């Protein structure tokens, strides 16, 4: 599908938007694109406040009246997520678009502050906590006449590299950092993004929840890979590595395109193309288990 971020994003008046990982890569490009279309406010998170200030300056150069707010937040800490969600809900009584974009890939084996495998913690669990804590605001916004509330979760075609069972729940409080599992941590977390988005759509149909793969995009995520991984990425995608601005189009499409054309719970490849599933990414039982596991792990977190 042709989707031009300059001309095809509609007027976003009154909309409050939150982008996680808006300080770099396709998250930053999404912040810049949203800001040009008159939203009430674009919140964005990240750890790097210097880069955040640069994003705000760049956005305001193109759209001087744009209202942007940086939420400093480290996704390896659920307490930090809780604080960022508290700030957002104390400042805004509505939220129209939640873009769960931030992510890490193939980082050294580690645990998050609360003791979860780092990819699962950053890519899935921190975003699940944002969703849980922002849900009352999202639901209230969805109650308004003519509302159009969306949650867009970044996954990756790399989800296909998940372990055989899909998600190894019993080891999620370990680094999973040895043997084959080490290479499957990213795929496992990105499978979770697809399953969680689908389950969310089932449980809260008044909110449109989809997962998207952005394409293979020349961002820090790719640049920070090992020489071997970079060579593999370039060999397997010889002519299809795109710029960050191009790579942001699928999430901008999912967040703003005609709501009747975006299917709740679906997974999309760029741009607006139904994604190719594998058996586990359509496994409703596994999606239910993931929901229950997540719910239990996040029990103590509230605002
Ligand atoms: N690039 C690709 O080819 C590709 C392909 C498929 C899927 N994706 C997905 O697209 C999403 C965005 O990736 P990208 O390529 O734009 O990556 P990127 O350029 O590395 O940007 C990642 C963003 O996430 C934030 N982030 C990372 N770790 C964080 C943490 N611990 N706490 C808070 N924020 C954190 C970073 O902010 P700070 O540094 O300020 O913390 C940054 O804004 C990811 O979910 C990724 O899995 C990318």
User: What mean pLDDT is predicted for residues 112-131?
Assistant: 98
CB–CB of 73/193 below 8 Å? no
pLDDT tens column, 230-279? 999 999 998 899 999 999 999 999 999 999 999 999 999 999 999 999 99
CB–CB of 262/208 below 8 Å? yes
Q: Residue 64: its pLDDT value, please?
A: 98
Q: Which of 24, 98, 161 to mutate to test the pocket of ligand 1 (most atoms within 8 A of CB)?
A: 24
User: What mean pLDDT is predicted for residues 100-129?
Assistant: 98
pLDDT tens column, 154-208? 999 999 999 999 999 999 999 999 999 999 999 999 999 999 999 999 999 999 9
pLDDT grade for 109, boundaries at 50, 70 and 90:
very high
Nearby residues of 28 by Cβ (< 8 Å), 6 or more positions away: 22, 51, 55, 244
Find tokens 């080891």 and name the residue: 171
Find the 214 Cα to ligand 1 centroid distance in Å: 12
Q: Which of 186, 196, 204, 268 is catalytic?
A: 186
CB–CB of 25/217 below 8 Å? yes
User: What mean pLDDT is predicted for residues 40-49?
Assistant: 98
Per CATH, the number for 16-297 is 3.40.50.720
Structure tokens at 141: 């916004």
> Angle CA(18)–CA(173)–CA(282) in degrees, nearest 5?
60
Find the 8 Cα to ligand 1 centroid distance in Å: 24
268 catalytic residue (yes or no): no
Find the 296 Cα to ligand 1 centroid distance in Å: 26
For the CA of 24, the closest atom of ligand 1 is 43
CA 103 – CA 277 distance, rounded (Å)? 21
Q: Which residues line ligand 1 (CB under 6 A)?
A: 21-27, 46-48, 51, 73-76, 101-105, 122, 154, 156, 213-214, 216-217, 219-222
CB–CB of 133/302 below 8 Å? yes
Average confidence score pLDDT of the chain: 97
CA 102 – CA 25 distance, rounded (Å)? 9
CA 93 – CA 136 distance, rounded (Å)? 10
Count of C-beta atoms within a 10 Å radius of residue 62: 11
Q: What pTM was estimated for this model as a whole? A: 0.98
Q: Which of 221, 232, 241, 246 to mutate to test the pocket of ligand 1 (most atoms within 8 A of CB)?
A: 221
User: Domain residues of the chain, as ranges?
Assistant: 16-297
For the CA of 46, the closest atom of ligand 1 is 40
pLDDT higher than threshold 90 for residue 67: yes
pLDDT higher than threshold 90 for residue 37: yes
pLDDT grade for 57, boundaries at 50, 70 and 90:
very high
Q: Residue 155: its pLDDT value, please?
A: 98
Q: Residue 238: its pLDDT value, please?
A: 87
113 catalytic residue (yes or no): no
For the CA of 224, the closest atom of ligand 1 is 20
Q: Residue 150: its pLDDT value, please?
A: 98
Closest among 44, 119, 122, 46 to 78, alpha carbons compared: 122
């Amino acid at each position: 599908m042709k989707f031009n971020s300059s001309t095809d994003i509609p007027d976003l008046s009154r909309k409050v938007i939150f982008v996680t990982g808006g300080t770099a890569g396709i998250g930053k490009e999404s912040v810049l694109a949203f800001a040009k279309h008159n939203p009430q406010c674009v919140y964005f998170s990240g750890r790097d406040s210097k880069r955040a200030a640069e994003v705000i300056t760049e956005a305001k150069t193109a759209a001087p009246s744009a209202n942007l707010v940086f939420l400093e937040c480290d996704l390896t800490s659920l307490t930090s997520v809780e604080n960022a969600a508290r700030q957002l809900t104390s400042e805004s009584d509505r939220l129209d678009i939640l873009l769960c974009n931030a992510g890490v890939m193939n980082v050294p084996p580690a645990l998050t502050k609360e003791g979860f495998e780092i990819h699962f913690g950053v890519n899935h669990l921190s975003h699940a906590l944002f969703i849980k804590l922002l849900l009352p605001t999202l639901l209230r916004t969805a109650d308004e006449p003519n509302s159009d509330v969306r949650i867009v979760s970044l996954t990756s075609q790399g989800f296909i590299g998940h372990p055989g069972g899909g998600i190894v729940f019993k080891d999620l409080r370990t680094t999973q950092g040895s043997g084959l599992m080490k290479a499957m941590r990213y795929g496992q977390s990105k499978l979770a993004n697809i399953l969680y988005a689908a389950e969310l759509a089932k449980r809260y149909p008044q909110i449109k929840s989809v997962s998207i793969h952005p394409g293979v995009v020349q961002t820090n995520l790719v640049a920070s890979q090992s020489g071997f991984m970079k060579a593999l990425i370039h060999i397997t995608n010889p002519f299809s590595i795109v710029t960050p601005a191009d790579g942001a189009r699928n999430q901008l499409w999912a967040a703003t395109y005609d709501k009747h054309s975006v299917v709740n719970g679906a997974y999309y490849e760029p741009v607006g193309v139904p994604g190719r599933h594998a058996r586990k990414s359509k496994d409703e039982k596994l999606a239910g288990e993931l929901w229950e596991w997540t719910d239990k792990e996040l029990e103590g977190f509230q605002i």
